[in-house]
C-alpha cells in the first residue's frame, strides 16, 4: 500500500515510517520540522519506497494513498504551548485536511489522539467511555481541546461521509528519537542525569503517569489501522503506573552519578493521575505492551548516551 504519515519526522512518526517500510509499504512522510528532525529519517532518505514532503498540515495537500496516519502536532507541553494558536490550528486543520483527502481517495485514516482528552481524570483508570475532565481555557487547552475537536471531526466525517476512520488515544510514550530538549519527563530526567544536572520534578512528584515503550505503541498503531471495522477511539498505553518521584529514582538508580532531585512549581492543569484501561485494545486487537519500564528505560538511556556524546553541552 501507499501510506501517508503526517508528522513522520517526529519521534513516533519516524518509528512508524520504519515499521511501514519494513512491512513492504511505500511511505510518504509529510512534516514541517517544527519538532521533528531529519536525523530521525536520514536512514530512509534516498530509498525508492520513501518520500519526504516538507509541508504544513494547516495548508491543504494532495496525495494518492491507501492509508493516512495523522500524527502531525507538537506533543510535549513546552512545544505545544510555544505557539498555542498554531497548535490548535494544526490539530483542527490537519484533521480536516486528512479527512478531506481520505474522503476523496477512500483511504483509511488514523488519528493520533491522546489521553489528554480525559484531562485531569475523575475516573481511574481511564476507559474509552469516560468523557473527561478538561479545562477549555487553560494552558493545556490548545492541545487537549484541539485533539478533542479532531476526534469530533473524525467521527462526523465517518457518520456523515462514510470515511473509514481509526482513532488511537495514546498514553505517555517514550523511547529512542525523543528530542533531547523535548521537555517531556522521561527524556528530561535521562538527559539531566546523563549531564550530571539536577532532575527537575514539577510539584511534589506524587502525580502519576503510565509509560509505554515506542515499539509496543507502533505495534498497536498497525493492528488498529488494519482492524476491519473498529471506528471508536481505542486506548493504547502501558497500564503500569508510576509517580514522577519513582521515575526519577529509577533513572538515577540506572545512571548513577551525582545528580540530585530538585522540585519546581507544578504547571497549571497538570493531571494528577493517568492510567489506561486497555481491555478494548486487548480484546479487539489482541494487543498488550511487552516492554517493561526498566527494559525500556535501559534502551532509551543507551540512545541518549550515544546521542549526547555527539552534542556539545
Ligand atoms: P513529536 O513532536 O516528536 O512529533 C510531531 C511531528 O509533527 C514532528 O515531526 C513535527 O515537526 C510535526 N508537526 C508539528 N506540527 C506540524 C504541522 N503543522 N505540519 C506538519 N508537521 C507538523 O511528537 P510525538 O511524540 O512523535 O507525537 C506524535 C503524535 O502523537 C502527535 O500528534 C501527538 O499529539 C500524539 N501523541 C503522542 C504521545 C506521546 O507520548 N509521544 C501521547 C499522546 C499523543
Ligand atoms: N514533569 C516533571 N519534570 C519534568 C517534566 C515533566 O516532573 O522535567 C512532570 C509533569 O509535570 C507531569 C509529568 O511529569 O506531571 C508528565 O509530563 P510530560 O510533559 O512528560 O507529559 P504530560 O504531562 O503531557 O502527560
- Residue 242's φ and ψ, nearest 5 degrees, are -135, 145
Tell me if residue 303 is catalytic. no
201 lines ligand 2 (CB under 6 A): yes
Contact 19/43 with Cβ under 8 angstroms? Answer: no
Give the pLDDT confidence score for residue 310 in this predicted structure.
Answer: 81
pLDDT at 4 over 80: yes
Summarised one tens digit per residue, pLDDT across range 82-112 is 999 999 999 999 999 999 999 999 999 999 9
Output the residue whose Cα is nearest ligand 1's atom 4. Answer: 10
Nearest CA to ligand 1 atom 12: 7
C-alpha cell recorded at residue 81: 504551548
**The ligand 1 atom nearest the CA atom of 70:** 32
256-280 b/e (C-beta count within 10 Å ≥ 16 → b): eeebebeeeeeeebebebbbbbbeb
The H or E element containing residue 209 is strand 208-210
Q: Give the mutation target among 135, 184, 192 for probing the ligand 2 site: most ligand atoms within 8 A of CB.
A: 184
CA 209 to ligand 2 centroid distance, Å: 8
Q: Give residue 34's pLDDT band: very low, low, confident or very high (50, 70, 90).
A: very high
Q: pLDDT band for position 222 (50/70/90)?
A: very high
**9 ligand 1 Cβ < 6 A:** yes
**Residue 225, CA distances (Å) to 6, 68, 82, 107, 259 in order:** 15, 9, 31, 11, 42
Mutate to test the pocket of ligand 1, among 73, 145, 300 (most ligand atoms within 8 A of CB): 73
- pTM reported for the whole predicted model: 0.97
Could you give the CA distance from residue 145 to residue 142 in angstroms, rounded to a whole number? 6
Query: Span 37-49, mean pLDDT?
Result: 96
Is the pLDDT reported for residue 1 higher than 70?
Answer: yes
| pLDDT band at 258; cut points 50, 70, 90 | confident
Mean pLDDT of 7-33: 98
Q: Which ligand has the minimum distance to the alpha carbon of residue 272? A: 2
| Angle made by CA atoms 92, 172, 88, in degrees to the nearest 5 | 15
Domain residue extents for the chain:
2-177+212-238+275-290
d(CA 154, CA 85): 21
More confident residue, 74 or 256: 74
pLDDT in tens, 146-186: 999 999 999 999 999 999 999 999 999 999 999 999 999 99
Summarize the confidence of residues 119-130 as an average pLDDT.
97
Provide, rounded to the nearest whole percent, the portion of the chain with pLDDT above 70: 99
Q: Are 28 and 53 in contact (CB under 8 A)?
A: yes
Asked if residue 193 has its Cβ within 6 Å of ligand 2, the reply is: no
**230 Cβ inside 6 Å of ligand 2:** no
Q: Are 3 and 26 in contact (CB under 8 A)?
A: yes
How confident is residue 312, by pLDDT bands cut at 50, 70 and 90?
Answer: low
As a whole number of angstroms, the distance between CA 43 and CA 46 comes to 8
Catalytic residue among 69, 80, 143, 157: 143
Mean pLDDT of 13-38: 97
Atom of ligand 2 at shortest distance to CA of 115? Answer: 25
Q: Ligand 1: which of 9, 12, 94, 149 to mutate, most ligand atoms within 8 Å of CB? A: 12
pLDDT surpassing 70 at residue 49: yes
CB of 13 shorter than 6 A to ligand 1? yes
Residues of the chain above pLDDT 90, percent:
97
* Model pLDDT, residue 257: 83
**Above 60 in pLDDT, residue 230?**
yes
Ligand 1 close to Cβ of residue 178 (< 6 A): no
Residues 6+ apart with CB under 8 A from 311: 180
What region, left, alpha or beta, does residue 14 occupy, with left being phi > 0 and alpha being psi -120 to 50 degrees?
Answer: alpha
Instruction: Determine which residue's CA is closest to atom 14 belonging to ligand 2.
Output: 185
Beta-carbon contacts of residue 71 (< 8 Å; ≥ 6 apart): 5, 6, 7, 8, 10, 12, 13, 16, 112
CB atoms within 10 A of CB 298: 13
SS3 167: strand
Among protein residues, the one whose CA lies closest to atom 16 of ligand 2: 185
56 lines ligand 1 (CB under 6 A): yes
The CATH code that applies to domain 2-177+212-238+275-290 is 3.40.50.720
Distance from the alpha carbon of residue 184 to the mean position of ligand 2, in angstroms: 6
Mean pLDDT on 59-87 = 97
* Mean pLDDT value across the chain: 97
Residue 235, beta-bridge partner list: 169
| 148 CB-side CA count, 13 A | 18
Amino acid at each position: 500500500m501507499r501510506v501517508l504519515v503526517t508528522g513522520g519526522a517526529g519521534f513516533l512518526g519516524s518509528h512508524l515510517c520504519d515499521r511501514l517500510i519494513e512491512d513492504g509499504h511505500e511511505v510518504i512522510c509529510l512534516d514541517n520540522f517544527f519538532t521533528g528532525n531529519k536525523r530521525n529519517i536520514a536512514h530512509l532518505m534516498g530509498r525508492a519506497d520513501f518520500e519526504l514532503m516538507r509541508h504544513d498540515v494547516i495548508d491543504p495537500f494532495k496525495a494518492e494513498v491507501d492509508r493516512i496516519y495523522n500524527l502531525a502536532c507538537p506533543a510535549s507541553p513546552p512545544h505545544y504551548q510555544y505557539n498555542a494558536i498554531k497548535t490548535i490550528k494544526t490539530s483542527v486543520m490537519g484533521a480536516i485536511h486528512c479527512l478531506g483527502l481520505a474522503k476523496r481517495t477512500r483511504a483509511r485514516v488514523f488519528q493520533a489522539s491522546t489521553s489528554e482528552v480525559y484531562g485531569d481524570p475523575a475516573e481511574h483508570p481511564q476507559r474509552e467511555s469516560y468523557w473527561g475532565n478538561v479545562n477549555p481555557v487553560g494552558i493545556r487547552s490548545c492541545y487537549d481541546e484541539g485533539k478533542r475537536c479532531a476526534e469530533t471531526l473524525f467521527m462526523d466525517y465517518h457518520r456523515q461521509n462514510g470515511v473509514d476512520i481509526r482513532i488511537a488515544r495514546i498514553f505517555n510514550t517514550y523511547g529512542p528519537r525523543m528530542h533531547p530538549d523535548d521537555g517531556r519527563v522521561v527524556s528530561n530526567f535521562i538527559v539531566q542525569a546523563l549531564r550530571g544536572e539536577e532532575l527537575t520534578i514539577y510539584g511534589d512528584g506524587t502525580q502519576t503517569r503510565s509509560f509505554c515503550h515506542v515499539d509496543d505503541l507502533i505495534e498497536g498503531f498497525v493492528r488498529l489501522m488494519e482492524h476491519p471495522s473498529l471506528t471508536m477511539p481505542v486506548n493504547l498505553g502501558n497500564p503500569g503506573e508510576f509517580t514522577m518521584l519513582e521515575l526519577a529514582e529509577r533513572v538515577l538508580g540506572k545512571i548513577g552519578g551525582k545528580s540530585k532531585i530538585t522540585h519546581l512549581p507544578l504547571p497549571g492543569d497538570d493531571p494528577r493521575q493517568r492510567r489506561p484501561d486497555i481491555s478494548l485494545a486487548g480484546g479487539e486487537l489482541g494487543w498488550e505492551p511487552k516492554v517493561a519500564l526498566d527494559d525500556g528505560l535501559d534502551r532509551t538511556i543507551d540512545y541518549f548516551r550515544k546521542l549526547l556524546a555527539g552534542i556539545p553541552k
